[in-house]
């Protein structure tokens, strides 16, 4: 960080804590502006990161940038979101405890993009395996899904998050991401039924209408025209040039697949989204008595018209044991319709988040550390502020309270650890405002609860009257009735005003405060702010105020502006003192003491801690840095003679010193290279001496080299005729087995190879992703005949009768489940179960009504056989066979295809997973098949 101080007049200071006029908002703004004009969008306030949205690509989020910030001290490089993410990650690993990052700001500040950058950084810096890559992909792809259902175009931002999100990223002891969990809150459900001019509903509605396939839209009863749907056109901007709904639809579809939503889940999801659109087109007319009547079809909602009519046009009142239906007016019915639409969408969003969490869940029960990522609205002030803004601003009020407390606590802990006396810091404690909202029985939320639950006709104004009764005289609460004459002119009769930490906000209770909400809060480490494509002073100043940045800076600067460990401070500035340059022999603390004495620091400008030096004023540091900048140039020139100070070396010695250091570095590198070469040669000789021994630590590297060398030579010397074994390169002993595996398939006829590949491809289509032990079967070669333990006479018989496939099996009796060794043989006409030379059962393909297998890792196959003659004891065949996958596939090539013990009587086979493989008859009379769970398929 200190290296950037020399250019501070041009690019500003990269940590506001070093701002000399730290109480001046003008100085704060000037520093932001300087950095913004140089495309430096990040600035620190201690460990807080302030970001100014540039609204353009800056090329600062590349893989190269991620590599630069990995494993680097937080203040060593310029401020960046990657530096913050890396600092949190490394602290979590070293301390084995949980941390989290808060990203706050108004719409358009770049909160969503910042959270994406953090996730992308962890995706690159964490250890990678196939399983972990799946977790990483799901974490990253949860973003476009949540954005589609939770983001919308607003006046400030085309992709504004209209919900708060807290994401847990779970890491194992090695720092690998192994799972996650998402908590959503404060979804702006009112947007479903109403949008201001120039704004849109949630993205998913437009993506479905514009990008959905024709067949899907027909099934949902939708038309490819947003103008047909009332809930999509209130903002009068259904189509936006900067948003490609068709492309985003494809992205969402792909993301849902990777997150493992089933086809049925996706169908239900979009059916519900379509139902909200249809619900918005339901309209009402007033009857002769003034009551609402439904004047549109409800068929597309999948609800009978009479039920929808009753639900939307009447209110059910329970009086003792009776239920009475009270009719709505047309206006009340519209409120009921919109309330239903909001409830449907809100519950759908909750279900969606839960489904995503199921795909992110970490099934390993061992303890995990967590990095939380909290994305929340900043403080909001609009022309009309309703209940949603009240919740958002209260949440930010709580965050501000906790944030200041944590900042003061961390400062105080560091002072105590360093043995420096703590000086109490005066600051505005907003606990009085938090209590005004949340205090039990007296706070605004408690009063709202009471008003909603009390008997009688509760209205917006009875709620306001109750507030005036309870809050009268409170310094941070005022209404039209309680205000003085001057203030009363700025308030409507349905308004009340709160004096928040960030300023005054007027809230309207009319038609808005009939809900009860619980607000979730947390502390923060990172903030991001909004500006347009140019630096808008008014907007930025407004947001600096509402984020409480000046208050936070004042708390940070209440003590010392700069602190560094003695080793780091001495290493940078030791050239400024002849006693410490070039090598200081004493302790770092003594060296720093000698250095600052030479520089003339005054006693009130610094404090010496146990491990750090604390400098009170930025100007002291700036003077030190300026002196160091001059000294760097003097070191390579002639000795200085002014100011009673001479450089410690005569002319020309500095260049010799640099040359000596460089030669020494080269010599050390050469020594390391030779040591490595000796080690490799010794290992190679030892491996050669043990080349004919079993693979071990002594010869594994040598044998690997032999294999690689042979395959490389073979690549350049392939024979012209692959069928002639004599002209192949002679393989070394370690490669003999591989050589035969490579050559033998090539000696097959082309038609045989093609047939094998066909069978394997068909088997893959059937079992891939559906049967746990399918991956283990892929490496098994396919052969048509596996005849075992049969007599020669029978073998001659079956071959002469066009046997197409044969495999040994174990057949379980239908009564008692006793195992029998059999040979299963497929011919063109039928399947046979054979014992020695005797046919035990013949199953004609025409009588085969089905074949069943489980999705576990067992190898059981059940042939379901139809038998019209109830006297014949012929029923389903329960078979165990090692090559079940290929047998199943082969069977399908001969025929088109409940387990019956015999006609008219049913039996059962139960499957389950365990650590061992077993087959036995259970106490309930069922056949129990226990198969080991495949570890390759655990997540």
Q: Which residues are annotated as a binding site for ATP?
A: 105-112
From the list 378, 443, 609, 875, the catalytic residue is 378
Angle, CA of 14, 19 and 20, to the nearest 5°: 155
Fill in the DSSP letter of residue 729.
Answer: P
Neighbours of 37 (CB within 10 A): 13
Is 4 one of the annotated active-site residues of the chain? Answer: no
The reply to whether 380 belongs to the active site is yes
Cα 594 to Cα 601: distance, rounded to the nearest angstrom = 11
Phi and psi angles of residue 585, each rounded to the nearest 5 degrees, phi first: -90, -20
Write down the residue that tokens 């189509």 correspond to: 239
Find out whether 46 and 557 touch, Cβ atoms under 8 Å. no
Is residue 548 part of the annotated active site? The answer reads: no
> 807: closest CA among 888, 875, 752?
888
- 128 assigned to active site: no
For residue 161, the tally of other CB atoms under 10 A from its CB is 22
Is 107 a known active-site residue?
Answer: yes
- Asked if 721 is an active-site residue, the reply is no
State the number of CA atoms in the 13 A half-sphere of 882 facing the CB.
9
Backbone Cα Rg of the chain? 38
Q: What is the DSSP letter of 126?
A: S
Q: How many CB atoms lie within 10 A of CB 521?
A: 17
Residues 118, 101 contacting (CB under 8 angstroms): yes
Which token pair is 885? 């996958």
The Cα–Cα gap between 139 and 133 comes to 10
Structural tokens at position 570 = 């001495």
DSSP label at 231?
G
H/E stretch holding 934: none
Question: Of the listed 113, 267, 310, 380, which one is catalytic?
Answer: 380
| Bond from prior residue into 582 cis (ω within 30 degrees of 0) | yes
Q: Is 854 a catalytic residue?
A: no
Catalytic residue among 107, 115, 142, 313: 107
Q: What are phi and psi of 735, to 5 degrees?
A: -105, 5
Q: Is the dihedral of CA 870, 872, 878, 879 positive or negative?
A: negative
Q: Is residue 527 classed as helix, strand or coil in its secondary structure?
A: coil
CA–CA separation, 132 vs 939, rounded Å?
9
The single residue of 108, 180, 235, 687 carrying the catalytic annotation is: 108
Task: Number of helices (H) and strands (E) in the chain: give both, helices first.
Answer: 29, 30
* Residues 6+ positions from 44 with CB-CB distance below 8 Å: 14, 15, 16, 17, 50, 75, 79
Is 221 designated active site? no
Rounded Cα gap, residues 354 and 855, in angstroms? 25
The residue from 161, 359, 857, 859 that is catalytic is 161
**d(C-alpha 813, C-alpha 921), whole Å:** 11
C-alpha of 766 from chain center:
32
Check residue 52 and report its DSSP letter: B
**Which run of H or E residues covers position 464?**
helix 460-471
CB within 8 Å of 688: residues ≥ 6 apart: 702
**SS3 call for 85:** helix
Residue ranges for the binding site?
105-112
Q: 492 is written with which tokens?
A: 């409507």
Q: What angle, 0 to 180 degrees and rounded to 10, lies between the N-to-C axes of helices 700-716 and 653-689?
A: 90
Neighbours of 798 (CB within 10 A): 20
Is residue 27 helix, strand or coil? helix
Going from the C-alpha of 631 to that of each of 461, 565, 680, the distances in angstroms are 73, 22, 47
User: DSSP characters for 289-348?
Assistant: TSBEEE-S--GGGTS-HHHHHHHHHEEEEEETTEEEEEEPBHHHHHHHHHHHHHHHHHHH
DSSP H or E stretch at residue 2 = none
Backbone φ and ψ of 875, nearest 5°:
-145, -160
Cβ neighbour number for residue 882 with a 10 Å cutoff: 14
Active site residues: 107-108, 112, 157, 160-161, 378, 380
């Amino acid at each position: 960080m200190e290296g950037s101080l020399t250019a501070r007049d041009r690019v500003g200071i990269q940590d506001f804590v070093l701002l000399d006029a730290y109480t001046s908002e003008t100085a704060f703004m000037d520093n932001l502006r300087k950095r913004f004009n140089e495309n430096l969008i990040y600035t620190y306030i201690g460990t807080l990161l302030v970001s100014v949205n540039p609204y353009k690509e800056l090329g600062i989020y590349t893989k190269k940038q991620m590599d630069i910030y990995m494993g680097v001290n937080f203040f060593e490089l310029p401020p960046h979101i990657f530096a913050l993410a890396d600092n949190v990650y490394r602290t979590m690993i070293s301390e084995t405890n949980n941390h989290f990052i808060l990203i706050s700001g108004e719409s358009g500040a770049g909160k969503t993009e910042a959270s994406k950058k953090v996730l992308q950084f962890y995706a690159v810096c964490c250890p990678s395996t196939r399983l972990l890559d799946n977790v990483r992909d799901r974490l990253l792809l949860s973003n476009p899904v949540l954005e589609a259902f939770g983001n919308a175009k607003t006046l400030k931002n085309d992709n504004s998050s209209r919900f708060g999100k807290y994401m847990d990223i779970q890491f194992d002891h090695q720092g690998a991401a192994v799972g996650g969990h998402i908590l959503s809150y404060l979804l702006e459900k009112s947007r479903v039924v109403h949008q201001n001019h120039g704004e849109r509903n949630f993205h998913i509605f437009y993506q479905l209408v514009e990008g959905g396939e024709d067949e899907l839209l027909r099934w949902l009863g939708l038309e490819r025209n947003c103008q047909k749907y009332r809930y999509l056109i209130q903002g009068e901007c259904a189509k936006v040039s900067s948003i490609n709904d068709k492309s985003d639809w494809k992205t969402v579809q792909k993301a849902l697949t990777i997150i493992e939503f089933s086809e049925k889940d996706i169908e239900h999801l979009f059916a519900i989204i379509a139902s909200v659109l249809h619900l918005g087109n339901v309209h009402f007319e007033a009857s002769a008595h003034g009551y609402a009547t439904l004047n549109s079809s409800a068929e597309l909602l999948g609800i009978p018209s009479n039920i929808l009519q009753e639900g939307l046009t009447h209110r059910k009142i329970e009086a003792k044991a009776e239920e009475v239906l009270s009719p709505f007016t047309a206006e009340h019915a519209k409120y009921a319709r919109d309330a239903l639409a909001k409830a449907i969408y809100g519950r759908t969003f909750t279900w969606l988040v839960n489904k995503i969490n199921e795909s992110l869940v970490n099934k390993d029960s061992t303890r995990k550390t967590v990095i939380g990522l909290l994305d929340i609205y900043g403080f909001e002030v609009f022309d009309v502020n309703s209940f949603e803004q009240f919740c958002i601003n209260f949440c930010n009020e709580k965050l501000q309270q906790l944030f200041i407390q944590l900042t003061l606590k961390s400062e105080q802990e560091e002072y105590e650890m360093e043995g420096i006396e703590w000086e109490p810091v005066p600051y505005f404690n907003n606990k009085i405002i938090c209590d005004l909202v949340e205090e039990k029985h007296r706070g605004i939320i408690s009063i709202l609860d009471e008003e909603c639950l009390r008997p009688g006709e509760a209205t917006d104004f009875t709620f306001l009257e109750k507030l005036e009764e309870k809050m009268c005289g409170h310094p941070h609460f005022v209404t039209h009735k309680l205000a003085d004459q001057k203030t009363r002119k700025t308030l409507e009769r349905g308004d009340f005003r709160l004096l928040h930490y960030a300023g005054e906000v007027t809230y309207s209770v009319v038609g808005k405060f009939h809900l009860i909400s619980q607000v979730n809060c947390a502390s923060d480490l990172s903030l991001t702010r909004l500006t347009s494509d140019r630096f808008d002073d008014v907007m930025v100043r407004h947001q600096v105020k509402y984020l409480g940045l000046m208050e936070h800076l004042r708390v940070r600067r209440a003590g010392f502006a700069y602190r560094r460990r003695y080793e780091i401070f001495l290493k940078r500035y030791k050239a400024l003192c002849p006693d410490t340059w070039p090598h200081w022999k004493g302790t770092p603390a003594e060296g720093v003491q000698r250095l600052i004495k030479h520089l003339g620091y005054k006693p009130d400008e610094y404090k010496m801690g146990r491990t750090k030096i604390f400098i009170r004023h930025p100007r002291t540091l700036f003077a030190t840095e300026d002196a160091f900048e001059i000294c760097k140039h003097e070191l390579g020139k002639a000795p200085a003679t002014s100011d009673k100070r001479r450089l410690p070396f005569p002319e020309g010695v500095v260049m010799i010193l640099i040359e000596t250091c460089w030669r020494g570095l080269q010599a050390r590198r050469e020594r390391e290279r030779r040591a490595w070469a000796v080690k490799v040669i010794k290992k190679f000789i030892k491996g050669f001496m043990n080349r004919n021994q079993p693979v071990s630590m002594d010869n594994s590297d040598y044998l690997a080299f032999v294999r690689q060398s042979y395959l490389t030579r073979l690549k350049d010397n392939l024979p012209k005729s692959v069928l002639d074994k004599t002209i192949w390169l002679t393989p070394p002993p370690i490669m003999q087995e591989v050589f035969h595996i490579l050559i033998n398939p090539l000696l097959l006829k082309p038609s045989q190879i093609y047939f094998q590949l066909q069978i394997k491809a068909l088997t893959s289509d059937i079992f891939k992703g559906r049967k746990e032990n399918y991956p283990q079967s892929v490496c098994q070669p396919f052969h048509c005949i596996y005849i075992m333990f049969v007599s020669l006479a029978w073998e001659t018989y079956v071959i002469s009768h066009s046997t197409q496939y044969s495999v040994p099996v174990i057949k379980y009796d239908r009564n008692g489940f006793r195992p029998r060794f059999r040979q299963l043989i497929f011919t063109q006409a039928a399947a046979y179960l054979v014992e020695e030379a005797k046919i035990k059962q013949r199953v004609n393909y025409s009588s085969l009504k089905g074949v069943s297998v489980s999705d576990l890792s067992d190898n059981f196959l059940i042939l379901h056989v139809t038998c019209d003659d109830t006297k014949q004891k012929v029923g389903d065949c329960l078979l165990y066979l090692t090559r079940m996958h290929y047998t199943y596939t082969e069977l399908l090539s001969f025929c088109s295809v409940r387990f019956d013990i015999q006609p008219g009587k049913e039996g059962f086979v139960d499957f389950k997973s365990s650590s061992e493989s077993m087959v036995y008859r259970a106490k309930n009379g069922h056949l129990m098949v226990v198969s080991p769970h495949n570890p390759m398929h655990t997540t």
